[in-house]
Amino acid sequence: MFVENFNKNPSGYRERVRSASERYERFSKQPKILRLHDGAVEAGVPCAAPAGVACERCQAGAVRLSERDLNGYTGISVPVELKTLREK
């Protein structure tokens, strides 16, 4: 099936794959969660993905930033970029 579709219209097939990739990036939460995780790791703080959301890069039971951390009620300094990214 793949070979038939690709041989009939290679540019159309590539366009459909590109379009599907864009839809995934736009509607999936996973890229945002990974950006939150990567930003937190770069800042040297625990994962910033919200509690209850699976982060594929964290081990089960790993420490996460809480709402109190983000609001400044604890001693952890959270970069503004992480706060705004998590709000979106």
Strand, helix or coil for residue 64: strand
pLDDT at 75: 61
Half-sphere exposure of 25 (CA within 13 A, CB side): 7
pLDDT at 59 over 70: yes
Note the pTM of the prediction, 2 decimals.
0.49
- SS3 letters across 14-47: HHHHHHHHHHHHHHCCHHHHHHHHHHHHHHCCCE
Average pLDDT, the chain: 76
Our count of domains for the chain comes to: 1
**pLDDT tens digits for 24-56?**
777 777 777 888 888 888 888 888 877 777 888
What is the domain extent for residue 42?
A: 2-87
pLDDT at 3: 67
Give the chain's largest Cα–Cα span: 61
pLDDT at 88 over 60: no
Q: Helices H, strands E: what count in the chain? A: 5, 0
